[in-house]
Chains A and B, each alone.
Chain A
Amino acid sequence: MSSNLDQLYRRVIMDHYKNPRNKGSIEDGALTIDMNNPTCGDRIHLTLQVEDGKIQNAKFDGEGCSISMASASMMTQAVKGKSVEEALQLSSTFSEMMLGKDYDDSLDLEDIESLSGVSQFPARIKCATLAWKAMEKGVSEEKE
């Protein structure tokens, strides 16, 4: 049992779950996105500070399983300091990874790579993609 599970619950994921990066909320002038996963109750509150097409800061709050919260932590870490274009590119790479497709490994995915095992657990893919969907929604609202 454990070896299968270890594909899902990598140590890096558990570390992000236990010690989330960028936890909290950016107070003023930030983009605010609230999203939930209606089938299971996972919930994220994401705040993004976007200036001159660049994500200067990103923070999240929420409740959910280890996969959803670790993914949110990794996402904020990854997009911070990136341009909106780069963040969206990362997001589409992440989607491909979740679908079990070959993904662009020229990008530096760092910790995010540890979530690749989620693609083997179809019921959990939505948990992993919640934070990324919230980020996409936020920056697309910013563009309008």
Chain B
Amino acid sequence: MLNTKEIRSYFPILNQEINGHPLVYLDNGATSQKPIQVIEAIKKYYEFENANVHRGVHTLGNRATDSYEGAREKVRKFINAKSTKEVIFTRGTTTAINMVAQSYGQANLKEGDEIVITHMEHHSNIIPWQQLAKRTGAVLKYIDLEADGTLSLEKVRETITNQTKIVSIVYVSNVLGTMNPIKEITQIAHEHGAVMVVDGAQAAPHLKLDVQALDCDFLAFSGHKMCGPTGIGVLYGKEALLDKMEPVEFGGEMIDFVGLYDSTWKELPWKFEGGTPIIAGAIGLGAAIDFLEEIGLDEIEKHEHELAAYAMERMSTIEGLTIYGPVDPAKRAGIVTFNLDDVHPHDVATVLDMSGIAVRAGHHCAQPLMKWLQCVATARASFYIYNSEEDLDRLVTGLLSAKEYFNDVF
């Protein structure tokens, strides 16, 4: 277990009461809280360094550029990319996946080609592909899930064919917590000549990413789920692929030479960063990476497995409570999605909120997965580095009182 007491002390927001109870924040799948180190880094940038990047001759311009490009190097190391040319700053996971669909997808797909995704994708890894399929006449195919919400490589092999051009799969499911065998799936995709896109939104905060070991072609993630600010994310792409791709946004910052009727682009990664970039966001993300690496990604992953195991053990003692996803806690990240009898998840979340416990209720931006689970909505508790076993005890107590409350009023 991590030293959650010390870690908590870096998060000012956690030190407050909600509805008369100390806050227990268990909605980390939606967004994580931000440590003082990240808040300070952004403050320092605005107080001492703020200027536009890659432009000014003046000193502030240099400081801002150094900090911004310094953050890119931190990201490169964080995901073990070969070069900073492969690290593009975006607004988040959603923007990154849309860039791949619009640039790579639009140029390389034709009628009859296939795009393969799964039933456990977030809307942001479904709709860009639906739209691409509509525009190009490509076929969108889904890999079926096993009963416990995992993927079997057999079904992966059955679904990916020589017509498949793009495979795009979530690394860690934001609903089921499932950790998918991305390395193996990438290998299968490559055997068929397809590129592999990884939705890393829930993976980046929780485990060590290594794009070279995975051998994936693209990886998308968001800063705000990993202690960074909102509005910043990353698209990683292999240099050989990015080199051939056209930019999606055109304007300042991304150009080399501009003529009256034609222009040329800057080199990688800047050709994909049209306009004034998200400078403060990137610097905040860099500080978040420093913070997480100080704790250690392997330690974080271990902590979450332990919390998941503890939560599942404690929650399964509550009669009428159903937990979705892999039964084996070693197969899941710190995400536990559940339903309590026939109490609607909204009602569960409201009762928990009255005890200061924040969980998510709804379809979690995964309507196809809800359909697969045959429920309209679920409640979700998702953990992070500052959560402790005591937080989970509070959750269990809250759930028991929700159950009692609704049994009473019914």
Binding site for B on A (CB under 8 A): 1-2, 4-5, 8-9, 11, 14, 18, 39-43, 63-68, 121, 123-124, 127
Check A5 against B351 for contact (C-beta < 8 Å): yes
Check B361 against A40 for contact (C-beta < 8 Å): yes
B326 within 8 A of A: no
Q: B350's contact among A8, A18, A41, A63, by CB below 8 Å, is which?
A: A8
Check B354 against A1 for contact (C-beta < 8 Å): yes
B257 within 8 A of A: no
Q: Which of B350, B353, B363, B377 has the most CB of A within 10 A?
A: B350
Q: C-beta contact mask, B341-368 vs A, less than 8 Å → 1, else 0?
A: 0001111001101110000011100010
Beyond the given A40-B377, A41-B363, please list 18 additional residue pairs across the A-B interface where CB-CB is below 8 A.
Answer: A1-B354, A1-B401, A2-B405, A5-B405, A40-B361, A41-B377, A42-B376, A43-B376, A63-B376, A64-B344, A64-B346, A65-B344, A65-B347, A66-B346, A67-B346, A123-B353, A124-B350, A127-B346
B410 within 8 A of A: yes
Alpha-carbon separation in the docked complex, A50 to B362 (Å): 34
**Chain A binding surface, main DSSP class:** helix
Alpha-carbon separation in the docked complex, A124 to B353 (Å): 12
B370 within 8 A of A: yes
B213 within 8 A of A: no
Check A65 against B409 for contact (C-beta < 8 Å): no
Check A14 against B409 for contact (C-beta < 8 Å): yes
**Contacts A14-B409, A43-B376 known; A65 to B354 CB distance under 8 Å?**
no
Binding site for A on B (CB under 8 A): 19, 344-347, 350-351, 353-355, 361-363, 367, 370, 376-377, 401, 405, 409-410
Check B19 against A64 for contact (C-beta < 8 Å): no
A-B contacts, 24 listed (Cβ < 8 Å): A1-B351, A1-B354, A5-B405, A9-B405, A9-B409, A11-B409, A14-B409, A40-B346, A40-B362, A41-B363, A41-B367, A41-B370, A41-B376, A41-B377, A42-B346, A43-B376, A65-B344, A65-B345, A65-B346, A65-B347, A67-B346, A68-B346, A124-B350, A127-B346
Check B401 against A124 for contact (C-beta < 8 Å): no
Q: Chain B residues near A43 (CB, 8 Å)?
A: 376
Q: Which of B361, B377, B410 has the most CB of A within 10 A?
A: B377
Check A1 against B344 for contact (C-beta < 8 Å): no
Q: Chain A residues near B376 (CB, 8 Å)?
A: 41-43, 63-64
Question: Taking the nearest CB of chain A, how far is it from the CB of B112, in angstroms?
Answer: 33
Alpha-carbon separation in the docked complex, A8 to B346 (Å): 12
Q: Which of A5, A9, A18, A68 has the most CB of B within 10 A?
A: A5
Alpha-carbon separation in the docked complex, A118 to B346 (Å): 13
Q: Which of B344, B351, B355 has the most CB of A within 10 A?
A: B344
Alpha-carbon separation in the docked complex, A9 to B370 (Å): 27
Alpha-carbon separation in the docked complex, A124 to B410 (Å): 20
Question: Taking the nearest CB of chain B, how far is it from the CB of A36, in angstroms?
Answer: 10
Check A124 against B354 for contact (C-beta < 8 Å): no
Alpha-carbon separation in the docked complex, A5 to B353 (Å): 10
Q: Chain A residues near B401 (CB, 8 Å)?
A: 1
Q: Chain B residues near A14 (CB, 8 Å)?
A: 409-410
Q: Chain B residues near A4 (CB, 8 Å)?
A: 19, 354
Q: Chain B residues near A64 (CB, 8 Å)?
A: 344, 346, 376
**Contacts A39-B362, A124-B350 known; A1 to B355 CB distance under 8 Å?**
yes
Question: Taking the nearest CB of chain A, how far is it from the CB of B164, in angstroms?
Answer: 31
Q: Chain A residues near B362 (CB, 8 Å)?
A: 39-41
Alpha-carbon separation in the docked complex, A23 to B359 (Å): 31
Q: Chain A residues near B350 (CB, 8 Å)?
A: 5, 8, 121, 123-124
Check B346 against A5 for contact (C-beta < 8 Å): no
Q: Chain B residues near A123 (CB, 8 Å)?
A: 350, 353
Q: Chain B residues near A66 (CB, 8 Å)?
A: 344, 346-347
Alpha-carbon separation in the docked complex, A40 to B367 (Å): 10
Alpha-carbon separation in the docked complex, A121 to B405 (Å): 18
Alpha-carbon separation in the docked complex, A65 to B342 (Å): 10
The 9 closest A-B pairs by CB, nearest first: A65-B346, A65-B344, A40-B362, A41-B377, A41-B363, A14-B409, A63-B376, A41-B376, A1-B354
Q: Chain B residues near A18 (CB, 8 Å)?
A: 410
Alpha-carbon separation in the docked complex, A74 to B405 (Å): 22
Q: Chain B: which residue is nearest A121 at the CB level?
A: B350
Q: Which of B361, B362, B409 has the most CB of A within 10 A?
A: B409
Q: Chain B residues near A2 (CB, 8 Å)?
A: 405
Q: Chain A residues near B377 (CB, 8 Å)?
A: 40-42
Q: Chain A residues near B345 (CB, 8 Å)?
A: 65
Alpha-carbon separation in the docked complex, A11 to B408 (Å): 10
Q: Which of A14, A18, A66 has the most CB of B within 10 A?
A: A66
Question: Taking the nearest CB of chain B, how far is it from the CB of A17, in angstroms?
Answer: 8
